[in-house]
Amino acid sequence: MLSPITWNDGSIRIIEQTLLPTEERWVDLATVDEVADAIRRLAIRGAPEIGVAAAMGCALAAFRYSGTERQEMISEVSEAAQVLAGTRPTAVNLFWALDRMKTRLAALDAEEKDIHEMREGLLAEAQAIREQDLEFCLAIGRHGAELLPDPVTVITHCNAGALATAGYGTALGVIRAAKEAGKDIRVFADETRPLLQGARLTTWELMKDNIDVTLICDNAAGHVMRQGLIHACIVGADRIAANGDTANKIGTYSLAVLARRHGIAFYVAAPSSTVDLSLESGDKIPIEQRAATEVTTPRGTVFAPEGVQVLNPAFDVTPASLITAIITERGVVKNQPLGRGLQDILGQ
C-alpha cells in the first residue's frame, strides 16, 4: 500500500508530489520550516495527510531541540505548532491534529516527563494519528463500496487517494475497496485545474493499481454525464460544516450541480476528523486564495498576458442539499438533513 508520509529516524520522509507523475522522488524533511514549506507548495497535500504532517512536525520540533530545559522544548514545540497552523486555512484536519498534539504535550508536561520521554510521547501520538488515518480510510472504503452497483462507472475530482492521506485514500479508497470486493469498476478522472491533481496524481495512482481510469478535461464532465456514462460521483473533503456543507477542491460544486441535473448520486468520502461542528454552515468555511501564477504560469509555461487580474480560490463549497451521502469511517450519513445525521454518527 502506498503511504506518502512516514517517520524516518528523526526526519519526515515524503513523496514529493509536485514532481509526479514524471518523477517519483522521496525526500526527507529535517526541520519544521521544511515541513511548513512542503505543505504550502503542495508537496504534502490532502487534508488527512496535512494533518499527519502537522503532527509529525510537532514531534520533529521536539527531536530537533538540543537543550536540556523542558520548558524551552515545550516552547519550541508550541512555536512549531503555530508555524504549521499558518500553512493552509481550509483543511480542518490540520488544526484537529495540532490540537491533539498540544493536548498530548500538556499531559506530558503535567506528568513531569523528562525531555526524552516527552519526545517519545509526542512521536507516539503522531504515529497514532497516522495509523488511525490508515484505519479510517480502510473503513471508509468498506462503507462506500457497499453503495456502488456492479458494474459501475464513477467520476472523481482532484485527488482523494493514498497521496492525500496516510495511505489507501478516501474517495479512491472507496474505489479500491469496490475493486477488492470484486466489483467491475471504471473511473473518469477530472484533470482538476489549475494544478491538475486529477491528471497528475489520481490517474497515476489508479494506473499503478490497474484500475480502469479515463482522464477528461474538467469541462467535459457534463458531456459524459449526459451521455449516460457516469453512475456515481465520489469526492473527498477538506472541511465539512455542521449542516453537511462541504469544502473541497475548486470545481467540486460544479460537479455536484451537474450530478443533480443528471440524477447521479454524489458522494463525499472523508474521515470524521474533517467534520467541523463549530461551523454551522459552509458559509463560515475559510477559503484559501492561492497565487495567481498557478493560473497564469503553471509549471513555468505562460498561459495568460502579463498583468491580468486573477482570482484563484483553492476550494469551493458544495451545499448539503446536493450531497447524496457522506461516507465516514463510522458509517454513512445519507438522510437529509445531513447535519442531523452527522451529529448522530459523531455522537454529538
Distances (CA, A) of 28 to 5, 14, 144, 181: 10, 6, 34, 36
Task: Spot the catalytic one: 238, 245, 276, 316.
Answer: 238
Closest among 248, 339, 182, 196 to 233, alpha carbons compared? 248
Could you tell me which of 18, 8, 4 has the C-alpha nearest to residue 63? Answer: 8
d(Cα 348, Cα 306) in Å, to the nearest integer? 51
What is the Cα–Cα distance from 255 to 190, expressed in whole angstroms? 10
Buried b (16+ CB within 10 A) or exposed e, 77-88: beebbeebeebb
Active site annotation includes 238:
yes
User: In whole angstroms, what is the distance from residue 44 CA to residue 165 CA?
Assistant: 10
- Residue 146 backbone class (left: φ over 0; alpha: ψ -120 to 50; beta: rest): alpha
List active site positions: 238
